Amino acid sequence: MEEKQDTKLQQIIGYDEAYYMPVFGKRVPLVVDHGRGVYLYGTDGKKYMDMIGGIAVNTLGHNNGKLVRAISSQARKVIHCCNYYYNEPQTMLAKKLVDMSFADKVFFANSGAEANEGAIKLARGYWSKKGTPKPKIITAKMSFHGRTLATIAATGQEKFRAPFAPVMPGFDYVPFNDFEALKKAVDAQTGAIMLELIQGESGVHPADFDYIQAVRKFCTQNKILLIIDEVQTGVGRTGTFFAYEQYGIQPDIATLAKGLAGGVPIGAVLANQSAATGFGPGDHGSTFGGNPLACAAALAVLEEIESKGLLNNVNNVNAYLVKKLNSIAKKTKKIAEVRGKGLLIGIELDSGSASDVKMKLFEKGFLVSSIGSNVIRLAPPLIISKFQIIKFISALQDVLEGKE
Ligand SMILES: *Cc1c(COP(=O)(O)O)cnc(C)c1O
């Protein structure tokens, strides 16, 4: 039995090497079979605590009954119908997101990159329709906005753009958390500023409260659209439904994706009434975007967040997790900094490789992600309990102390 299942792992890895484009490099040697709650199970029958949650996607964990029922009952009714027609889950999800946010209008896409493409187009459309095109958008260095051609242009990291030149023009990059630099970069062509509130992909770096306040005031005074990319920080991840709530601001445009439908692909562009004028009939579209299956899943996720009080859980678990991480930082002297909000946490190692720590945790049955050479990122399902965190902390401490 053991041997047969090990063969499965080797077979899948072999086929992946043969048939899949190698963009993910060498993956962690786990063939996921199924999941339940905060745990994933491999084809070898081993159980792993999922501390990365599909990169902030599995909001409700795995195999959540309410989500599974919403998806299956919607699938029995209709999975897809094109946007020539209305569908109830799409409309009700748009209404719900408007009720919960700064926004007046919503558009649905299928991923984070696609939502950001929509936001970029919307900002350009807004200025064109006013008769004063302002195509330039300022973004932050070390930001991440996606892998499509417009979103790598928006992403302030050369390594994502260089091999795919020519890059779409119209983006300027400024150091993150540096308001003076941002002010200097603005000119008559600047139509929007696009920021993350926590730079997740480059190592979990939160924006400063004062910086975001200053940027908001500046955008209002200078009539520049503020786009907040909440693809990773949204849907309760940081302890409020949107991270912008913690910065005391409202954006003009925001994007959501990862956690919104708990694992079913979806993206959303949210805009206030004024910014939303950037799109009129015929200006944008999507075949799959807003389909009944994805929207029914998202509605179930939002209902579960409310009915289970998951925002409270995120805040309680955060307080406990950060306290424990800081205490093992003191004990082991192997952690330089613990950053982040809610259940989006970066652990910067003092010494040693993050990827080694990731692999040792994997051997002990815990899944985390490593960013760059020295940051471990945690983004577990919002349902995770303190009891489960205790187990993770103990494993992490063992790994940092070199215990087997
Ligand atoms: C993941 C991510 C994206 C891209 O989302 P995809 O669904 O992978 O296209 C964009 N912005 C941020 C902040 C992200 O974390």
The Cα 56–Cα 369 span in angstroms is 11
For residue 330, the CA-to-ligand 1 centroid distance in Å is 33
pLDDT in tens, 136-158: 999 999 999 999 999 999 999 99
The reply to whether 172 and 211 lie within a common domain is yes
What amino acid occupies position 304?
E
Same domain (yes/no): 146, 277: yes
Report the alpha-carbon distance of residue 251 to residue 272 in Å, rounded: 8
The Cα diameter of the chain in Å comes to: 69
Annotate 335-352 with b (16+ C-beta within 10 A) or e (fewer). Answer: beebbbbbbbbbbbbeee
Residues 85 and 220 both lie in one domain? yes
- To the query of whether residue 44 is one of the catalytic residues in this protein, the response is no
From the CA of 141, how far away is ligand 1's center (Å)?
16
Give dist(CA 238, CA 232) in Å, integer: 9
Q: For residues 30 and 209, what is the distance between their CA atoms, to the nearest angstrom?
A: 39
Are both 197 and 113 inside the same structural domain? yes
Q: pLDDT category, 167, cuts 50, 70, 90?
A: very high
Instruction: Read off φ and ψ for residue 230, nearest 5 degrees.
Output: -105, 30
**Are residues 329 and 254 both part of a single domain?**
no
DSSP string, 75-107: HHH-S---TTS--HHHHHHHHHHHHHSS-SEEE
Residue 231 CB partners (closer than 8 Å, separation 6+): 112, 115, 116, 145, 146, 255, 256, 257, 258, 267
- Cα 282 to chain centroid distance, Å, stands at 29
278 in the same domain as 246: yes
Report how many domains make up the chain.
Answer: 2
From the list 25, 142, 50, 114, the residue with the least C-alpha distance to 377 is 50
Looking at residue 1, its pLDDT comes to: 47
Structure tokens at 104: 């007046």
212 shares a domain with 69:
yes
Q: Which residues line ligand 1 (CB under 6 A)?
A: 111-113, 116, 144-146, 196, 200-201, 229, 231-232, 257-258
Report pLDDT digits (tens) over 266-280: 999 999 999 999 999
Ligand 1 centroid to residue 274 C-alpha, Å: 25
CB environment 374-396: b (16+ within 10 A), e (fewer): bbbbbbbbbbbeeebbeebbebb
Q: Residue 337: CB partners within 8 Å, gap ≥ 6? A: 346, 347, 348
Clarify whether 136 is annotated catalytic.
no
User: Among the options 102, 107, 144, 176, which is catalytic?
Assistant: 144
What is the reported pLDDT for 7? 85
Can you tell me which atom of ligand 1 is nearest the CA of 267? 7
Ligand 1 atom nearest residue 111's Cα: 7
Q: Which residue has the tokens 């063939």?
A: 31
Which residue's CA lies nearest to atom 8 of ligand 1?
Answer: 112
Atom of ligand 1 nearest to the CA of 229: 13
361 has pLDDT over 70: yes
Decide: pTM greater than 0.85.
Answer: yes
User: Residue 36: which CATH number?
Assistant: 3.90.1150.10
pLDDT, the chain, mean? 97
Among residues 80, 369, 69, 325, the alpha carbon closest in space to that of 232 is found at 369
Q: By the 8 A CB rule, do 223 and 229 touch?
A: no
Closest ligand 1 atom number to CA of residue 112: 5
- Domain extent, residue 103, equals 65-307
Q: In what order do the strands lie in the sheet with 225-229?
A: 105-109, 267-271, 253-256, 225-229, 190-195, 136-140, 171-174
- Which of 24, 117, 202, 258 to mutate for ligand 1's pocket (most ligand atoms within 8 Å of CB)? 258
CATH label of the domain that carries residue 199: 3.40.640.10
- Ligand 1, atom 10, residue with closest C-alpha: 145
Q: How far apart are CA 165 and CA 277, in angstroms?
A: 32
pLDDT band at 125 (very low <50, low <70, confident <90, very high): very high
**What mean pLDDT is predicted for residues 77-89?**
97
Residues 112 and 126 in one domain: yes
Is 392 a catalytic site residue?
Answer: no
Residue 100 and residue 158 share a domain: yes
pLDDT interval class at 3 (50, 70, 90): low
Question: Strand 105-109 to strand 205-206: parallel, antiparallel, or no bridges (unpaired)?
Answer: unpaired
CB 32 within 8 A of CB 3: no
Nearest CA to ligand 1 atom 5: 112
Question: pLDDT for 32-61, tens place per residue?
Answer: 999 999 999 999 999 999 999 999 999 999
Indicate the pLDDT class of residue 4, thresholds 50, 70 and 90.
low
CA of 245 to the centre of ligand 1 (A): 20
Looking at the fold, whether 178 and 286 belong to one and the same domain comes out as: yes
Cα-to-centroid distance, 146 and ligand 1 (Å):
5
> Residues 205-242: pLDDT tens digits?
999 999 999 999 999 999 999 999 999 999 999 999 99
Band of residue 13 on the pLDDT scale cut at 50, 70, 90: very high
Token pair for 226: 């503020």
**CA neighbor of 136 nearest in space, from 152, 149, 153:** 153
Which spans in 230-381 are helix H?
273-276, 292-307, 310-332, 354-363
Distance (Å) from CA 145 to ligand 1 centroid: 6
pLDDT > 90: percent of the chain:
97
Task: Answer whether 227's CB lies under 8 Å from 253's CB.
Answer: yes
The ligand 1 atom at the shortest distance from the C-alpha of residue 146 is 4
> Which of 267, 246, 252 has the alpha carbon at shortest distance from 341?
246
Both 121 and 58 in one domain: the answer is no
Q: Starting at the edge strand that comes first in sequence, how are the strands of the sheet with 39-42 ordered?
A: 32-36, 39-42, 47-50, 366-367
Catalytic residue, from 102, 107, 171, 229: name it. Answer: 229
356 has pLDDT over 70: yes
Residue at a domain's end among 253, 288, 307? 307
Which of 249, 273, 307 is at the close of a domain? Answer: 307
The protein residue with its alpha carbon nearest to ligand 1, atom 15, reads 232
Confidence of residue 5 (pLDDT cuts 50, 70, 90): low
Ligand 1 centroid to Cα of residue 328, in Å, is: 31
Domain final residue pick, 262, 278, 307: 307
Rounded to an integer, the average pLDDT of 314-337 is 97
Mutate to test the pocket of ligand 1, among 117, 176, 201 (most ligand atoms within 8 A of CB): 201
Question: Would you place residue 352 in the very low, low, confident or very high pLDDT band (cuts 50, 70, 90)?
Answer: confident
Whether residues 200 and 59 share a domain: the answer is no
Write the pLDDT tens digit of every residue in 248-266. 999 999 999 999 999 999 9
Report the chain's C-alpha Rg in angstroms: 21
Which residue's CA is the nearest one to ligand 1's atom 11?
145
* Predicted pLDDT at 404: 74
Task: Compute, in angstroms, the gap from residue 256 CA to the centroid of ligand 1.
Answer: 9
> Which of these is catalytic: 50, 134, 252, 258?
258
Residue closest via CA to ligand 1's atom 6 equals 112
Q: Return the closest-CA partner of residue 5 out of 26, 28, 33.
A: 33
